[in-house]
């Protein structure tokens, strides 16, 4: 079974949506409620969903720019915005950074092991600069800053394990 998690940003607050895939069966979990469906691709390219409660939905999903997709069913056209949690966090941290606090705390999103630390305290860094590499779930993840500034603290060292949520580094913003 494969599982995907997305952040949906609509008119309300952001919400997490999880989709589990097993063969032609899909389970969508949103707001703590799950709904299952069998999915089939029709000859004309449309998708047919037969929901567990007997309802059937047929339509197309048209991908667009920046994680926005258009869902077309019958006479209805709806746009939805989905992003992977990390991409969503980065995109909205940059937006919030304009008037945000003077310091950015960089934290581990999941448990892992620090492979390399690329900066030292006192180094000046540009927005998007590589701070360290964290190995988690057999993948090496580059941890970058979302704003320019000076490295105020490095809280980890190479070879050490960290828990999810652990403070990795602190970046002090450049004065305006």
Q: What is the pLDDT of residue 4?
A: 86
- Outline where DSSP puts E strands in the chain: 2-8, 15-22, 25-30, 33-41, 47-51, 56-63, 68-73, 76-83, 103-107, 112-117, 124-125, 130-136, 139-144, 149-154, 161-162, 167-173
Q: What is the pLDDT of residue 96?
A: 53
Q: What is the pLDDT of residue 170?
A: 93
Torsion of CA 132, 135, 136, 138, to 10 degrees: 150
Calpha distance 12→61 (Å, rounded) = 22
Tokens of 160: 């050490």
Q: What is the pLDDT of residue 157?
A: 94
Q: What is the pLDDT of residue 95?
A: 54
Calpha distance 28→19 (Å, rounded) = 5
Is the pTM for the entire model greater than 0.75? Answer: no
Residue pLDDT tens, the chain, 176 long = 888 888 888 777 788 889 999 888 999 998 889 999 999 999 998 999 999 999 999 999 888 877 788 889 988 898 888 888 877 777 766 555 555 557 888 998 889 999 999 999 999 998 889 999 999 888 999 999 888 899 999 999 999 999 988 999 999 986 54
Q: What is the pLDDT of residue 151?
A: 94
Q: What is the pLDDT of residue 58?
A: 94
């Amino acid at each position: 079974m494969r599982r995907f998690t997305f952040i949906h940003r609509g008119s309300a607050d952001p919400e997490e949506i999880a989709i589990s895939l097993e063969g032609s069966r899909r389970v969508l979990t949103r707001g703590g409620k799950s709904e299952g469906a069998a999915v089939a691709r029709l000859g004309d390219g449309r998708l047919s969903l037969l929901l567990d409660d007997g309802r059937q939905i047929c339509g197309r999903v048209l991908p667009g720019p920046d994680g926005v997709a258009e869902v077309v069913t019958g006479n209805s056209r709806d746009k939805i915005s989905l992003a992977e949690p990390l991409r969503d966090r980065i995109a909205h941290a940059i937006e919030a950074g304009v008037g945000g606090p003077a310091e950015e705390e960089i934290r581990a999103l999941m448990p892992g092991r620090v492979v390399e630390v690329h900066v030292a305290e006192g180094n000046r860094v540009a927005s998007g600069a590589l701070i360290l590499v964290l190995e988690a779930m057999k993948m090496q993840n580059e941890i970058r800053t979302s704003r320019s500034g000076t490295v105020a603290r490095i809280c980890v060292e190479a070879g050490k394990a960290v828990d999810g949520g652990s403070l990795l580094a602190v970046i002090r913003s450049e004065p305006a």
